[in-house]
Copies of this chain bind each other. A is one copy, B any other.
Amino acid sequence: MDFASRREKLRKLVRKASASSMLVTCPTNVSYLTGFTGDSSYLWISQDRYLLVSDGRFSQQLAEECPDMEVVIRKPNVSILKATVKVLRAEKPTSVLIEGDRVSKNDFDKLSSELKGMAFTTSSGVVESLREIKDRDELGLIRRAIEIAESGFLGLRKRLTEDSGASGTRNWSEKQVADALEGEMRSRGAISSSFRTIVGVGPRAALPHGTPSERRLCESPFVLIDWGAREGQYVSDLTRVLVTGALPPKIDRIYHTVLAAQEAGIRAIQPGALLSEIDNAARSVIARAGFGKFFTHSLGHGFGLQVHESIRMAKGQDRPLKVGMVVTVEPGIYLPGQGGVRIEDDVLVTRDGCRLLSSLPRDLESNRLNLT
């Protein structure tokens, strides 16, 4: 990873904001700029230096992960804020840009009252704007996180089919499915799942963010699974609906509507297209089919170091897509009490349009599973 060039890009943005230095408090942003994978540490960066305020738990890890970085290790009885005040008092920058969406109101007030005469200004989304465009190394890790998630899912499918029968996987609960998928992804190299896996059988598939319950696969003819893998620092995010029995006509219909909406969304992705336009391309397919009010969330989001990054494809988001952005495309229709369908893939914006990074089949037939 070329952390140095990321810091150079940040310095340019700091100059543009007329500040002489910046304090980065968001742990993910600190990782992005330094390669340090721990947390509880603040990065201060000026035009010619950078240093990390951390604590003793991370001393050795810092020496391994960031051997060239200047590090200030605070004692257990000194808060990170106090240690930061001490650093700034010694470094005397004329001005400090602070992540206004990340720093708490109380911490901001303490910093500015402790350091009178130093100009503190807040920014919004500065490091996040750099993180929107993925470099080659990041894309490699994201591809790997997708590969592990997909291969783990195929492993899960295999187990579901092989061990089925009266006392077998037909009787698995949503939680057992989530646990098995976790094991499949970890055994393929994932650190863990990238978020708490969503498994929704039948009517529970209508909960876009439902957590795995004791409901059993055999209780309904379909199950929605939304999962991802974390590999290194990067993540993936996918959703499929598996059909395990005779699908009710209504669910069959929304499946095809969601699939058509997703395809329309993906087709619309290209550099320069507005985020809201992509959302609309997919949403209008669902609206035309009469299910508009059952698509209750935005079409997709950026991801990378985090599952939800700053880009959001939604109404009112009038910024353009750029080459190197990666987004999920995940339309859904949720019918309370009956069930829901969401299909989610990961897409890279390229010079000539976009490339699907995920590759699991999306058509209904390929997602049929014989559990009897």
Which A residues are closer than 8 A to B by beta carbons?
A: 37-38, 55-61, 76-77, 98, 100-109, 122, 124, 175, 179, 182-183, 186-187, 191-192, 196, 206-211, 296-298, 314-317, 334, 336
Contact = CB atoms under 8 A, between A and B. Distances in A.
B56 A297 contact: yes
13 contacts: A55-B296, A58-B208, A60-B210, A61-B209, A76-B315, A103-B104, A103-B105, A106-B124, A175-B186, A179-B183, A179-B187, A182-B183, A191-B196
Nearest to A38: B209
3 nearest CB pairs, A to B: A56-B296, A100-B106, A77-B315
Contact of A55 (B122, B187, B297): B297
Nearest to A206: B60
Contacts of A175: 186
A77 B314 contact: yes
Contact of A108 (B59, B60, B105): B105
A36 to B, nearest CB: 11
A123 to B, nearest CB: 9
Contacts of A209: 38, 57-58, 61
A37 B211 contact: yes
A60 B207 contact: yes
Contacts of A37: 211
A298 B74 CA distance: 12
Contacts of A336: 59-60
A191 B175 CA distance: 8
A1 to B, nearest CB: 17
A61 B103 contact: no
Contact of A298 (B76, B98, B296, B317): B76
A57 B108 contact: no
A57 B316 CA distance: 19
A104 B106 contact: no
Contact of A182 (B186, B207, B315): B186
A102 B101 CA distance: 11
Contacts of A58: 208-209
A141 to B, nearest CB: 16
A192 B317 CA distance: 35
A126 to B, nearest CB: 12
Contacts of A296: 55-57, 59, 76
A285 to B, nearest CB: 16
Given A57-B209, A77-B314, 5 more contacts: A58-B209, A60-B334, A103-B104, A105-B107, A191-B196
A84 to B, nearest CB: 15
A104 B107 CA distance: 9
Contacts of A103: 104-105
A177 B315 CA distance: 46
A220 to B, nearest CB: 16
A314 B106 contact: no
A245 B258 CA distance: 58
Nearest to A185: B179
